[in-house]
């Protein structure tokens, strides 16, 4: 009994001895006590793996979004410097919009819009737009009208087909009913040169075709397709797409295919371009007319 007490007292007064024993026996009991249980290690590892996986997924999504935005920015701004001066009487303004759906007005949103309209005394026909086209979150309340072109940067995505008070439906450039007057643009060693004017038509597929090109005109794969006008008025040269196929048929006609620059399915946000009058220009014209009418005749 006394010897056991002496041994315990000796160990308590000699902590270095226990340390040496622990170091000299790394696989002993001391090492086993300090090592976490396997189940604890597994739980910690799984927690770290889950958090790391979630972070990795978020980074992958953000990276994909940034790549997409960079691609759109490069494509949309490629034509930014090719702008024709518009008449001093007109100007072009854009209204931002978000793409709500790429395939018609969702049922739940339709009911919410109708319900909100009823409480404001607005009829259903003023609120909803029927069809399978893309839906954007601006309408007549924002000054949007049918026929307005829909852009991403300087790239034409389509045009407004139908409008409600708060939403509108967009007809993409690839729709079979889409038509727009366009002009070819070709790059050469000495700069950019405008070519033939034709009509861009949707085909109902992923591409468009170009019609109305004379057999005497030149068309080359890689030619850029830009707008010839905006709703009939001269304005900025907007980008439609690139010629991917140009075949001269036996009947003396061109068969030209165009790949659009962007599609609505790729986009979350767009802009609606609208033409407006320069009121300052009108007032100056009016003043000039009055001055001319009231000024004394020069002998």
Are 185 and 226 a contacting pair, CB within 8 Å?
yes
Count of domains for the chain: 2
Confirm if 243 and 258 have CB atoms less than 8 A apart: yes
> Does residue 74 lie in a domain region?
no
The parent domain of residue 226 ranges over: 90-277
pLDDT reported for residue 85: 46
> What's the pLDDT band for 170 if we cut at 50, 70, 90?
very high
Residues 239 and 165 in one domain: yes
CATH of the domain at 125: 2.40.10.350
Is the pLDDT higher at 113 or at 208? 208
**Does residue 127 sit within a domain?**
yes
Does 23 share its domain with 102?
Answer: no
Structural domain contains residue 46: no
* 98 and 204 fall within a common domain: yes
- Asked whether 264 and 172 are in contact (CB, 8 A), the reply is yes
Same domain, 158 and 10: no
183 lies in the same domain as 100? yes
Which pairing describes strands 168-172 and 269-277: parallel, antiparallel, or unpaired? unpaired
User: 25 and 115 in one domain?
Assistant: no
Question: What percent of the chain has pLDDT above 90?
Answer: 28
Give the number of other Cβ atoms within 10 Å of residue 71's Cβ: 12
Q: Are residues 259 and 187 in the same domain?
A: yes
CA distances from 222 to 81, 187, 256 (A): 19, 9, 11
Residues 121 and 236 in one domain: yes
d(CA 95, CA 160): 12
Residue 294 within any structural domain of the chain:
no
For residue 70, being part of any structural domain is answered with no
The pLDDT of residue 295 is 43
Q: 106 in a domain, yes or no?
A: yes
Please indicate, yes or no, whether the overall pTM of this predicted structure exceeds 0.75.
Answer: no
* Residue 236 in tokens: 């900025």
Residue 298, in any domain of the structure? no
pLDDT at residue 191 is higher than 70: yes
Q: Give which of 212, 208, 220, 198 is closest to 253, Cα–Cα.
A: 212
């Amino acid at each position: 009994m006394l010897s056991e007490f002496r041994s315990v007292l000796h160990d308590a007064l000699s902590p270095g001895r226990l340390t040496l024993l622990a170091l000299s026996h790394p696989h002993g009991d001391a090492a086993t006590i300090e090592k976490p249980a396997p189940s604890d290690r597994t739980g910690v590892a799984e927690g770290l793996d889950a958090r790391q996986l979630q972070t990795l997924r978020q980074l992958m999504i953000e990276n994909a979004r940034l790549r997409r935005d960079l691609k759109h920015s490069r494509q949309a701004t490629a034509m930014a410097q090719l702008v024709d001066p518009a008449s001093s009487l007109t100007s072009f303004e854009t209204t931002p919009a978000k793409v709500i759906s790429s395939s018609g007005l969702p049922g739940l949103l339709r009911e919410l819009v109708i319900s909100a309209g009823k409480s404001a005394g607005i009829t259903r026909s003023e609120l909803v737009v029927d069809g399978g086209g893309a839906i954007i979150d601006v309408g007549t309340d924002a000054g949007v009208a049918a026929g307005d072109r829909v852009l991403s940067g300087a790239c034409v995505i389509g045009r407004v087909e139908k409008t409600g008070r708060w939403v509108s439906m967009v007809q993409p450039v690839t729709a079979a009913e889409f038509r727009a007057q366009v002009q070819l643009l070709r790059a050469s060693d000495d700069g950019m040169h405008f070519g033939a004017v034709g009509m861009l038509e949707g085909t109902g597929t992923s591409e468009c075709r170009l019609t109305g090109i004379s057999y005497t005109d030149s068309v080359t794969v890689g030619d850029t397709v830009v707008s010839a006008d905006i709703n009939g008025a001269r304005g900025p040269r907007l980008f439609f797409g690139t010629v991917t196929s140009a075949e001269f048929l036996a009947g003396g006609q061109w068969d030209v295919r165009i790949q659009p620059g962007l599609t609505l399915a790729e986009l979350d946000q767009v802009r609606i371009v609208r033409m407006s009058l320069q009121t300052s220009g009108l007032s100056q014209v009016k003043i000039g007319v009055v001055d001319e009418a009231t000024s004394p005749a020069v002998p």
